[in-house]
A and B are shown apart, each in its own frame.
Chain A
Amino acid sequence: DVKVTQSSRYLVKRTGEKVFLECVQDMDHENMFWYRQDPGLGLRLIYFSYDVKMKEKGDIPEGYSVSREKKERFSLILESASTNQTSMYLCASSFITGGGYNSPLHFGNGTRLTVT
């Protein structure tokens, strides 16, 4: 079974702090994603990466950056945390099958971040 592990289940940070959310997958997947999930807004894509050192902006990248130095690890960085970044953050991974189609996304258990 694919395992996607997020380093923290719950995190509380202060406004202005730099926050790192870590995600590791153990199935050699090419693609990795960071989403945030908020009530009434659903899952929104922040950033994704389809290879080491590659990154692409999702739908809501403002206030975030990412790092992918190794294939198995994808980090989400909040440069200066703000209260509107309080949310559930979900990491996911997938591989590219033949014909350019992606496999289903496999999600981690999520990190609930509270910024005070």
Chain B
Amino acid sequence: GQNIDQPTEMTATEGAIVQINCTYQTSGFNGLFWYQQHAGEAPTFLSYNVLDGLEEKGRFSSFLSRSKGYSYLLLKELQMKDSASYLCAPFTGGGNKLTFGTGTQLKVEL
């Protein structure tokens, strides 16, 4: 089975850095995705980690520790448009499917 845990809500200030954590327990783990979803819109792909370590992509970085069942998404130089829900999704390769966490609603304030 799958168990994914991430905070429900976070608030941060424009220009700051925020880290969104995700812990998971899955069978057949084969990588982890992070998605961003603005209200009323479809989720969009942010990052994918297969190996342990940090993947950097502009203002966004994602970290994975397979042995600890832990990942985080790091957002730097926060902008108002970063206010959205961030979804952690471990990938189980055996089933070719993603299981999504319930998401972390990030609010960026002035």
Contact = CB atoms under 8 A, between A and B. Distances in A.
**Same assembly:** yes
Interface of A: 31, 33, 35, 40-45, 48, 50, 56, 58-59, 90, 96, 100-102, 104-110
A31 B43 contact: no
A106 B45 CA distance: 8
Contacts of A106: 45
Contacts of B43: 43, 90, 105, 107
A38 B12 CA distance: 25
B61 interface: no
17 contacts: A33-B97, A40-B102, A41-B102, A42-B103, A43-B87, A44-B100, A48-B97, A56-B95, A59-B99, A90-B43, A101-B31, A101-B91, A102-B91, A104-B48, A105-B33, A105-B43, A110-B42
Contact of A102 (B96, B99, B100): B96
A104 B50 CA distance: 12
Given A33-B97, A90-B42, 14 more contacts: A40-B102, A45-B97, A45-B99, A48-B96, A58-B97, A90-B43, A100-B93, A102-B91, A105-B33, A105-B43, A105-B98, A106-B45, A109-B42, A110-B42
Interface of B: 30-31, 33, 41-45, 48, 50, 87, 91, 93, 95-103
Contacts of A100: 93
A42 B100 contact: yes
